[in-house]
Structure 1
């Protein structure tokens, strides 16, 4: 008998046949709970529900504006019947739409037929041809995607991202007075406070949130090549531009008056660039916090029953931040692809945007997952002030900067004996182990004004933090 054998999934249970269906992507499997809020907005059924909404509202709008001769004002019951179609679109409706699409091989046409089935035999049946009147599929799709993305951002992504930024800002305020040794180029540098460094990241993230909160979501409904050709051919006496504008604005979007067959998607590229940039800044936060953990500045709470390493029992790994890094990289790559692909369409229309936009949910899902991990990671941290203080106490050389700066100021004021301050501090500190006595001895030997000498002699690496604390108070929103 052979001691080992080759891997051969073909001889095992076919997992694709297992019921209920097994998720292919981790967002629908392992990470389902983090990404679940997006299902109502960016899944395939959510797309078809949004299409139903747009078609129904267009029907209602055409009647309300008397845009087409032969229409009439709808009764309250008729409006309720129509609006119930998207509102009640659930498991049975999803299956029915799929069955219709198997025949039509066209998802938007299947939406049209789905609606017509529901008004058959009602008082609305004589008006059935108002469903999808003068529309191309992209009239429905662009509005649906705009509504979906708007809902996903405003109702799922922004609340999570805003809570994260608030959490970082709160931690910055709590630690604004905790002195910390800086590291520039990985070397000891001018001290700061832990809170001030966290505030920098909170401020950066907050700026991106402000941009995203102001995002416009554009839409159009102007026909097969953006000319209102079918509209004016069928009903030349209607002001179709005004009907279009009031409809798009009425469903909560910004009207785009000039397009080809497709809405140009520029707003999507703008949004995805901002969300990706938010993610890259968050990635910076994750790597910085990971480094602070490795330096011992943060301790991580032990979770009962959790395993840090399968071999090393002592470990509590910073997995939340590592998970966030990876998911932010995936999200940014997808958002970049969406942004670069969607702004280009051959001549008046090609179909590259169709399959591309179906991945919007994946891009936002990985972003939301990363946000969730960072929030959970931050929530398990506690500050190890002793480790921060020990690093500072071992780095008295950082006081070379304030001393040489004070000497420069004294030289400008005409105090004698202040020549070559930078070079003298460089000779004292560079490549040497410096302690408090060495610094104070150097200061004591200077002919500085008494007030200046006293202030410098009292300075320690832990008190040399400038206006760090005030900056946290004044700059965080």
Structure 2
């Protein structure tokens, strides 16, 4: 379609809603389209309709291949292939045609049914002799719209998670884990309550976050995707009325499992969506841990622990040329918060439905793509941001060297152990170190002199006097190696 400029009149602005190509309303389909485009194949309106086509076609094939409906002819491989091509060939032309049908039906699932029936009617012209026109009325047989929709959404969400979101999230966590291993031995002053605290290593702190994120990924990898096909109120009423001798629960179960989903035997008109709420809670928890990483890394940048590698040609500030802003992590924070607002809302609303059915879930589920889109965008930003960081060990070392008082914990703990071992003069170790260190900055020489006055055994005193804030990292490096 060629570009056109919408008309305007003197004294008025151009009407952007009339621009062609259309102007995106939201950032995900505009500014950030490239980062989230893979989700379009799974969570867009077109993807929903493609999955509806898939479910309807597979239900028709299932009914005929299992000889569920008496008198229905079996379909040969060419006929089954013809039907499945309706799904695989669904693209721009099909989207347009389906939209035209829906403008008449004013019902999205009914439009899908008619779309398939058009192609069944056209089958003799494509295949020659075929029984497909004889099974046209088995399209959408005994189904309510929610039979098709719940299965379609389960397939959509499963595809989005397993093929797009999980690979991106896993790659990011692997990237964080690699950074943790690389910097496992780099000492870093910790901060608890924002105050100098027992040193750790940069790698160990990154490993904590990688470990937390991986635990959530395991939960998401093991998610169940439920589906049902049991009619208008979950009773198989129409099924039984049409074909009373069929074992409809068994037929339903085998079909849902054929789609690769877990069968839900007890529902109202809708599948209860509990699995969605469970999944979205896990994704939201992953998002919150990632948000924690983004804020921590942002803080480490502000402390100078990380240097940001400038991108040639990029501008950090419109007025301050020296700045390289941590925008990747700030962008991630915002998108994670938006994603979680949507995921939390979906999880809270989808598990309730008035009596046997209301339509609030229909509108809510159309925002699943947006929720995953903002999460995927955040993952992309964090990954890009981490790639542009370099550790400044000079600043890390200076920070440690300016805080010798953090060794007070080590010294008073050694005094406690010596007291238990019977060494005299080890009374009130915590209080003595508190008097020495609380609210005071000490030099290494002052700390060593103090240790020399304590009366500790020579080997213990020597070990403590050799200790520095940079060496007081405990098992941090080994923990990364052993448990990440």
| TM norm structure 1 | 0.97
Q: Which residue of 1 aligns with 2:287?
A: 279
Q: CA deviation at 1:379?
A: 0.4
| Alignment pair present for 1:343 and 2:344 | no
CA distance in 2, matches of 1:189, 1:9: 66
Q: CA deviation at 1:9?
A: 12
CA distance in 2, matches of 1:348, 1:64: 32
SS in 2 for 1:26: coil
- Following superposition of structure 1 onto structure 2, how do residues 57-456 of structure 1 map, counting pairs within 5 Å? 57-121=58-122, 122=124, 123=130, 124-456=132-464
CA distance in 2, matches of 1:475, 1:214: 22
Q: CA deviation at 1:133?
A: 0.2
CA deviations on 1:179-216 (whole Å, 9 max, x unpaired) are 00000000000000000000000000000000000000
Q: CA deviation at 1:413?
A: 1.1
CA deviations on 1:135-174 (whole Å, 9 max, x unpaired) are 0000000000000000000000000000000000000000
Q: CA deviation at 1:10?
A: 8.8
Q: CA deviation at 1:72?
A: 2.1
Unmatched 5+ stretches in structure 1: 1-7
CA deviations on 1:344-369 (whole Å, 9 max, x unpaired) are 00000000000100000000000000
Q: 1:10 to 1:225 in 2, by over 3 A?
A: farther
SS in 1 for 2:199: strand
Asked whether the 8 Å contact 2:73–2:135 carries over to 1, the reply is no
Q: 1:97 to 1:268 in 2, by over 3 A?
A: same
SS in 2 for 1:28: coil
Q: 1:9 to 1:377 in 2, by over 3 A?
A: farther
Q: CA deviation at 1:234?
A: 0.5
Q: CA RMSD in A?
A: 1.1
CA distance in 1, matches of 2:10, 2:54: 44
| TM norm structure 2 | 0.96
CA distance in 2, matches of 1:51, 1:426: 69
CA distance in 1, matches of 2:85, 2:300: 54
Q: Which residue of 1 aligns with 2:4?
A: none
SS in 1 for 2:390: strand
CA distance in 2, matches of 1:461, 1:397: 9
Asked whether the 8 Å contact 2:186–2:201 carries over to 1, the reply is yes
Q: 1:10 to 1:100 in 2, by over 3 A?
A: farther
CA distance in 2, matches of 1:169, 1:270: 26
CA distance in 2, matches of 1:9, 1:391: 63
CA distance in 2, matches of 1:358, 1:220: 19
SS in 2 for 1:280: helix
Report how many residues are paired: 469
Q: Which residue of 2 aligns with 1:54?
A: 55
Q: Which residue of 2 aligns with 1:40?
A: 41
Q: CA deviation at 1:101?
A: 0.2
